[in-house]
Amino acid sequence: MNYGLPYKGSKSRIAKWVVEALPSADVWIEPFAGGCAVTHAAILSGKYKRFVINDMTDSVKFFVDAVNGKFKDENRWISREEFFRLKKDDTYVRLCFSFGNNQRTYCYNEQVEPYKKAFHYAICFGDFSLFEDMGISIPEDVFKRCSSAKDRRCAIKDILVKLNYPDNLQRLQSMERLERLWSLQSLKGMGDIEVFQGDYRELEIPKEEKYVIYCDPPYINTEGYFTNFNHEEFYDWVKQQKNCYISEYWMPEDFERVDYIYIKLYHFVERTKAITSKKVFGFVKIIYFSWYGKIFNRRRKRERITYLDERQFPEAERETVYP
């Protein structure tokens, strides 16, 4: 299942696991909500009654708009020219038609764009003329047993597979993202959602209620999300909170691991809990390693170990390195 908006750096893959790791409370607070994947999972969990979500961008407002059905009739095709003209003021354009959800560049190159447009027109408008212009024959009854846009997308994909078209022409990423927006309407009425857009330090924490804070801040030593994010100030802010859980690659020595989960081939995820100044804090730690030889950081001794293949890191060694 996909959670939240189509968003760069989304926690969709681990959203359910994160929520399962955290305690129940009256209020869910997320100061760095981003694409709201974890908030989505928190709403479905039934563990929280009220949700306070914040981000520096307008993504949280867009999430709530999608929940309230603002995009239920949205099905526009956005061309390359329209993307660069509209992206500044149209969040739908930025999220659904940007490359890798980076919100800056167009998702399709000039060679495949005509095929993607034909794909989109067939699914959304039942118009096969663009496919016909390219010499691709689509049976008239292709959607006979289809009840949703996803069914129609998969039906077209099956035909393209049978015709031996390349893999990059068999998917319609912009439509997959639009389907995610449509699916968010199912959350309507499942919780009271309060939206804020601004600095996390300005977010008011409801001290009178039992709450959980989940933070997914810009990761240290990474680029592309925020500029000049002060992690030391963030750590100081965390130490003033209670029941605060944080996603990171690593944390200072006074944060200790709570638990971990191994995600397929590429991710090693830890839940961490720390006791600092007699207050309890926690975080979800994500350590990457891959078969491309990226640096793998060993938390306690901070030794650097390079793994070229997931198979070089067997289960027994994982338990030894991370007891």
Q: Which domain holds residue 26?
A: 15-68+188-286
Give a yes or no: residue 321 inside a domain.
no
Q: Phi first, then psi: what are they for 200, rounded to 5°?
A: -60, -30
For residues 41 and 114, membership in a common domain is answered with no
Rounded Cα distance, 61 and 57, in Å? 9
The answer to whether residue 305 is domain-embedded is: no
Q: Dihedral of the CA atoms 235, 240, 244, 249 (nearest 10)?
A: 10
User: Of 147, 167, 184, which one is at a domain's C-terminal end?
Assistant: 184
Stated pTM of the model: 0.74
Same domain, 47 and 192: yes
Q: Check residues 283 and 107 and name the one with the higher pLDDT.
A: 107
Same domain, 48 and 87: no
| Same domain (yes/no): 194, 231 | yes
Q: Are residues 192 and 178 in the same domain?
A: no
Least confident of 20-24, 87-91, 270-274: 270-274
Q: Are residues 180 and 201 in the same domain?
A: no
Query: What is residue 286's predicted lDDT score, i.e. its pLDDT?
Result: 40
Per-residue confidence (pLDDT) for residue 114, from 0 to 100: 92
Asked if the structure places residue 322 within a domain, the reply is no
The last residue of a domain, from among 184, 203, 227: 184
Whose CA is closest to 190, among 65, 69, 43, 51? 43
Retrieve residue 13's tokens: 């893959």
Q: Which of 9, 67, 5 is nearest to 36 (CA)?
A: 5
In this predicted structure, the answer to whether residue 27 has a pLDDT above a threshold of 90 is: yes
| Residue 300 within a domain | no
Task: Based on the fold, state whether residues 109 and 149 are members of the same structural domain.
Answer: yes
Same domain, 58 and 195: yes
Q: Is residue 157 part of a domain?
A: yes
For residue 177, is it within any domain? yes
CA distance readout (Å), 17 to 2, 3, 127: 13, 12, 41
Contacts of 189 (CB under 8 A, 6+ apart): none
CATH number for the domain harbouring residue 265: 3.40.50
- 63 and 195 housed in the same domain: yes
Digit-coded pLDDT (tens) for 182-217? 989 888 888 899 999 999 999 988 877 899 999 888
Total of domains in the chain = 2
Mark which of 147, 165, 184 sits at the end of a domain: 184
Whole-number Å distance between alpha carbons of 169 and 266: 26
**How would residue 272 be classed by pLDDT, with cut points 50, 70 and 90?**
very low
Q: Is the pLDDT of residue 160 over 60?
A: yes
Whether 79 contacts 56, CB under 8 Å = no
* 32 within domain boundaries: yes
Residue 41's SS3 state is helix
Is residue 59 within 8 A of residue 5, CB to CB? The reply is yes
Same-domain check for residues 201 and 265: yes
Q: Is residue 2, in this structure, part of any structural domain at all?
A: no
Quick one: average pLDDT of 70-90?
A: 93
The larger pLDDT score, comparing residue 227 to residue 302, is at: 227
